[in-house]
Amino acid sequence: MNDPCVKRVLISVTDKTGVVDFARALHDEFGAEIVSTGGTARVLEEGGVPVRPIDDVTGFPEMMDGRVKTLHPKVHGGLLAKRSNPAHMAQAAEHGIGMIDMVVVNLYAFEKTVASGADAAACIENIDIGGPSMLRSAAKNFESVAVVIDPESYGAILDEMRAHGGATTRETRARLALHVFQTTNAYDGAIAGWLAGQVEGAGEFPERLSIDLVKQQDLRYGENPHQSAAFYRRMTATPHALVNARQLNGKPLSYNNILDTDACWTIVREFDDPAVVILKHQNPCGSADGATVAEAFERAFACDTKSAYGGIVAANKTVSLAMVEAVNAHKLFVEVLIAPDYEPAALELLQQKKNLRVLATGGVDALGQEMEFRTVDGGVLVQDADVVSEAADSFAVPTKRMPTAKEMDDLLFAWKVVKGVKSNAILVAKDHAGIGMGPGQPNRVDSAKLACERAHEACARIGVAPESLVAASDAFFPFRDNIDMLAGYGVTAIIQPGGSIRDDECIQACDELGIAMVFTGRRHFRH
């Protein structure tokens, strides 16, 4: 069949951006009859667009506070009738149902209502019924009906109609229909997710789970050049999440940039004092806090000057000019710098490096507000986020020697960083700096050895004695050989979850070696 000309349009929108000009063009240029509802009709009339009220079409008034206005055969019959089916057209004529060639609808702002903190009654009233029904009817019959939900598409649709004698093309109608079903799917998922939180006993993990994702950007390639990839944004993303960060400079982010930046940004947000984390291939090769972000950067960089090259740098406070000058003084090549904000002079200096990706989040969201998803073959694993929320006063010290105040201070620092190291993970720290990292080894004693060797290298580089070191382990020690290894490199205090069947053996080893050991009672694996 030929592409149908648009002669009758039903318009009912929550977002009234551009709708008056769009409706006027449809009427004035193409002679389309405009049918509309409630508030939309008033806006169009005030804009000088001739409008036929919906109740004039249906023969029924809008009722029940607007809950019922378009749920009528004269609406849905006009949308669903197959123009090429003589029986459909005869039945429409018999019942006085006129065809509708275009529907312009966007939905009640349910998600914004929920995000505003509105009560349950207000949220329920913002569950759109008539809108999704019209959209789905029109989208099902896209062979004959164009369905428009995005104000940004008004101009392109008018241009196409001008080029095709007042008609839209099948290709466009099919694309618009796809957009509709994607939108209504996400809309229903948002409602189901909210209602699951309202229904007692629905549980943290419902029987069915919908994830609403909107494409943020196409990526040049994935983890490797032969893999294609894209970056999607969750509709539930917190305001200062990585996905909402503004890019102020540099090349487009790559797949690996995004993964590493997320890991780096997650670690640095564990700290309240000014802190900087430098990360490479998912592991924090440098981490420190300080009186300022500039001091924190200098101390983090000193942890591992070699691995820092080509890494990600994250700061939890506004980046100062002094910090940028420190980065430049070390001639450090940085892939991505992420922070809440930047001093104007600092940003001006950063923007002299055209390839450096500079991200501003606008703030720091609390950790643990969203669920984590990981795909596996044929499925998805879902868990709540891992956050160091355990309080120091809940820790146990099973050894004869208690940690000194300074040791405990360093242990708490190391405990927050080791969570971000790939398991099996050991982090050696001194003076609130992660000077030695042992990531991802298949046995913990090798991780301990690697962490200690790097810590001694850092001490030699910084010019301090490798003494009074502390170590954090993301999981318990299965044997005392880990203790012996750490002690041999000058570690005097250890923090770990505890819970091994050989805890007593490890405690005995600490007592023999004069090491203080803290049990947190919580593991922080990162696979």
Catalytic annotation, residues: 140, 281
User: Tell me: the pLDDT tens digits for 84-96?
Assistant: 888 888 887 888 8
> pLDDT tier at 69 (50, 70, 90 boundaries)?
low
- What is the third-level CATH fold of 393-519? Cytidine Deaminase; domain 2 (3.40.140)
Q: What is the pLDDT of residues 425-443, one digit of tens each?
A: 999 999 999 999 999 999 9
Task: Give me the mean pLDDT over the 460-484 stretch.
Answer: 95
pLDDT digits (tens, 9 = 90+) for 228-271: 999 999 877 888 999 999 999 999 999 999 999 999 999 999 99
Third-level CATH fold of 8-198: Rossmann fold (3.40.50)
Is the fold of 245-360 the same as that of 393-519?
yes
Instruction: Decide: residue 98, CB within 10 A, 0-12 exposed, 13-18 middle, 19+ buried.
Output: middle
Q: Residue 317 — pLDDT band, cuts 50, 70, 90? A: very high
Q: Which residue has the higher pLDDT, 371 or 352?
A: 352
109-134 pLDDT per residue, tens: 788 888 788 888 888 888 888 888 88
Side-chain-side CA neighbours of 227 within 13 Å: the count stands at 8
CATH architecture of 245-360: 3-Layer(aba) Sandwich (3.40)
The torsion region of residue 362 among left (phi > 0), alpha (psi -120 to 50) and beta comes to left
Domain ranges of the chain: 8-198, 245-360, 393-519
- Mean pLDDT in residue range 515-526: 95
What does the pLDDT read at residue 131? 82
Cα distance between residue 27 and residue 40, in whole Å: 15
Q: Is the pLDDT of residue 339 over 90?
A: yes
Q: Which two tokens stand for residue 106?
A: 């966007």
Nearest C-alpha neighbor of 490 from the set 433, 434, 429, 445: 429
pLDDT in tens, 148-193: 999 999 999 999 999 999 999 999 999 999 999 888 888 888 888 7
Say what the pLDDT of residue 202 is.
Answer: 55
Q: pTM value?
A: 0.81
Assign 358 to helix, strand or coil.
strand
The overall average pLDDT reported for the chain is: 91
